[in-house]
Structure 1
Amino acid sequence: MITENQYFDGNVKSLGYETPEGKSTIGIINPGEYEFGTANKEIMHVIEGSLTILLHGETQWQVIESGSSFEVSSNSSFKVKTEVQTAYLCQYR
């Protein structure tokens, strides 16, 4: 089953699906700044574009370019900002 997700007035949209390894979403983030909360550990892969991220408890923003990934712990939050539409794959593990 494929699920559709929409956040921040449609500025972040994704399609969710499940594999034997767990749930995943693939989506697009429009230019802007957003904060996400997590229930599970998330592995975010930037497919195209780039994200500038601030992980919970950290003070320095990091730039994640296309082809790179980062991890977010469960029961946490993180901020992202981007100046271009950015495609991502998020794996919930």
Structure 2
Amino acid sequence: MSTSINASAQLDNVSVVKKANIYFDGKCISHNVIFPDGTKKSVGVIFASNLRFNTGAPEIMEIVSGLCKVRLADASEWQSIGAGQQFSVPGNSYFDIETVETVNYVCHFG
């Protein structure tokens, strides 16, 4: 489910939507970034919590810092995911996440 990544520490040449996306009573806050080719990602933080995210499009969740446990819709087991790892979620699905420590992430859509 998870894979290690070698990701850059920053996203270059993007536009940032100034208004924050605030979910789950402030437990998850993100900003949308838009690339010159029109692709969109969100960059955010999830504070200590247990949450369920529903997906419309397929997503790749890149964990930049922190530690969490993740369970995909079709899985019975939780998997630990930490900084430098990512996991993929199909479209029209969901995943459960339990943050063990505050998690900074980049969500890649599509």
Q: Which is richer in strand?
A: 1
In the aligned structure 1, how far is the partner of 2:58 from the partner of 2:94? 10
Moved over 4 A (4+): none
Alignment match, 2:21: 5
1:45–1:21 CA distance, 2 compared to 1 (3 A): farther
Q: Does 1:35 align with 2:52?
A: yes
AA aligned opposite 2:107:
C
**Larger Cα-atom Rg:** 2
Identical pairs, percent: 30
AA aligned opposite 1:60:
E
Q: Does 1:58 align with 2:75?
A: yes
Q: Does 1:15 align with 2:18?
A: no
Unaligned 5+ segments in structure 1 are none
Unaligned 5+ segments in structure 2 are 1-15
TM-score by length of structure 2 reads 0.80
In the aligned structure 1, how far is the partner of 2:90 from the partner of 2:42? 17
In the alignment of these two chains, the number of paired residues is 93
**What root-mean-square deviation, in Å, do the aligned CA atoms of Structure 1 and Structure 2 show?**
1.1
**Counterpart mapping for 1:54-93 below 5 A:** 54-93=71-110
